[in-house]
Structure 1
Amino acid sequence: MDNYSNLIEKLNNLSLDGFSMILEDVIKKVNNNDLGFYEALNQLVDNQIKVKKEKVYAAGIKVSHFPFIKTIDDFDFSFQPSISKTQIKDFCSLRFMENNENIIFIGTPGTGKTHLATAIGLEATRNSKLTYFITCKELTNQLKRARSENTLDRRLKHFYSYSLLIIDELGHDILDEESAADLFQLIQMRYERHPTIITTNYNISQWHTIFKNNKIALDAMLDRLLHHSSIVTINGPSYRLKEVSEYLID
């Protein structure tokens, strides 16, 4: 085995594939006097850091359970003028996470709530923040199952542990007393410790229809959710209807 192949093998054994990817090109530049020693080393290290970040991001995407991969650049703000692009860009800066603030997206179906929540979640994942996306129905079902198996505390701690938790479609189903209590307990655990993003079709004044016969749990949850939160109300048409109408135009 020649020296170059031996070096590549050692780099790969050390998981320094960012080095080995560009090593040949860097060596050529050094031999041509296009790069000095420290410049060459910097390029190798920079590429290793880049590759490592990409791997962490890919791993984060895998565990996050995002419904799709859509960034803020994919969002058509011109179609939803009620949304402040500046505000959404600020969310993507993750300043809200530093302050442990929540975000609540309110709007009718198809207005882009889930897209925006996912885009922010992707930015958090890109910055190595452990993020998890789950529908409210699936969340409460998991907590209900854990309660029946006497593992509720462990399951709550699991959802508490995420740096950012996205709960999609609050209000898709009416919550019974136990589910309302479980959801409140999770929100209480995360309060002022980890931010949560919630999407819902219902204005907050209508949440009593979701937490039916459980005003105490609703009031307690709202007290914690709204204390440090940004509420984004989307008043606009459905993207899905827009796509359908485009096909119908003669």
Structure 2
Amino acid sequence: MTTTRTADPTAEPGAPSTTTQASLYQQLRAHLAVLRLYDAAEHLPAVLDAAIAEGLSMTAALERLLAVEVDATEARRLAGRLRFACLPTPATLAEFDYDAAPGVDRALIDELATCRYLESATNILLIGPPGTGKTHLAIGLVRSAAEAGYRTYFTTAADLAARCHRAAIEGRWATTMRFYAGPTLLAIDELGYLALPAEAAAAIFQVVSQRYLKTSIVLTSNRGVGAWGEILGDTTVAAAMLDRLLHRSVVLNLDGDSYRLRAHQARNETLRKTTTGTRKPLS
């Protein structure tokens, strides 16, 4: 007499039907857990179902299973790089408004987005008045580098100077210099926006010198390079720093109306039209 085996309606999808297969399945899950391939273990039933439904070979099924783990690992690593980068906003290069910044060369930005400039330790200087997109571009460049697998860090000139000042007082100067020398791309935002203490010039110069010809810097400033001696309070240090920054560099001069001013004017115009449209005529 032949007994027909019925499927267990409570069985896990993708789980084997025989005792031997079930044992092998559990061993496989255990192996994945020991190896900490948790995402692969989670997707194992679905991959096994797909292998049966699509007639995948053992090699193809294994590749699909490991691809799940690789994708999850890369996503975790990217999340870690972005956390370390300390980006102030989620801005991307794709979101940059070129219509509002007609002087920006889109082809150049697209080239910089490939991150090839990092291979030659080329620096990028973004110079222009407030609100013209310098910080947006700097953040976008840092994000692109992080997505390409590079270690990055974003800071402001004022925060960098303050951190270096505390490090000098606490005897951690060498450690702090190693920290700023580490990332493949370091973004220093807003040079010239705030008055810097006397020791800031030496701190920023030391960071630039540590990275010279080794790794790249993205630096934004609302003042032209000719005014950096005034910003840093030391024309000699400013000249030495510029000599290193400009040796291998791309300089973008941004101009135009402020993004924030344009947005403010657009909101006011929308509010004016709304108010005008809803105002009742006097009887």
The alignment's TM-score, normalised by the length of structure 1, stands at 0.93
1:8 to 1:111, Cα distance in 2 relative to 1, 3 A:
farther
Cα distance in 1 for partners of 2:147, 2:141 equals 10
How far apart, in 2, do the equivalents of 1:85 and 1:197 lie?
Answer: 17
TM-score of the pair, normalised by structure 2: 0.83
Q: Which amino acid counterpart does residue 18 of structure 1 have in structure 2?
A: D
Superposition deviation, residue 110 in structure 1 = 1.4
Give the letter for the 2:219 counterpart: I
The CA deviation string for residues 27-70 of structure 1, in whole angstroms up to 9 with x for no partner, is 11221243222211221222222111110000111111100112
Which of 185, 203, 215 is matched with 1:194 structurally? Answer: 215
Native 8 Å contact 2:228 2:235 kept in 1: no
Question: Residues 111 and 40 (structure 1 numbering): CA distance in 2 closer, same or farther, change over 3 Å?
Answer: same
Counterpart position of 2:41: 20
Higher relative contact order, structure no. (Cα contacts within 8 Å, ≥ 6 residues apart): 1
Instruction: Give the superposition deviation at 1:208.
Output: 2.2
- Following superposition, which runs of at least 4 residues in structure 1 exceed 3 angstroms of deviation? 1-10, 174-177
User: Structure 1 residue aligned with 2:252, among 232, 237, 243?
Assistant: 232
The one of 127, 131, 134 equivalent to 1:113 is 134
Amino acid at match of 2:184: S
Closer, same or farther: CA 110–34 of 1 in aligned 2, 3 Å: farther
Q: Report SS of the residue matched to 1:210.
A: helix
Number of equivalent positions: 249
The Cα RMSD (Å) is 1.8
Max Rg structure: 2
Tell me by how many angstroms 1:89 deviates.
Answer: 1.2
Structure-2 residue corresponding to 1:154: 175
Return the match for 2:96 from 50, 72, 75.
75
Matched, 1:42 2:63: yes
Name the % identity. Answer: 30
1:18/1:50 contact within 8 Å kept: no
Residue aligning to 2:9: none
| Maintained 8 Å contact 2:200/2:232 | no
Higher mean alpha-carbon deviation, 6-15 vs 36-45, is at 6-15
* Equivalent in the alignment of 1:92: 113
Alignment-mate amino acid for residue 253 of structure 2: T
Q: 1:146 to 1:6 in 2, by over 3 A?
A: same
| Structure 1 SS opposite 2:215 | coil
- State yes or no: 1:179 paired with 2:197: no
User: Match of 1:232, SS?
Assistant: strand
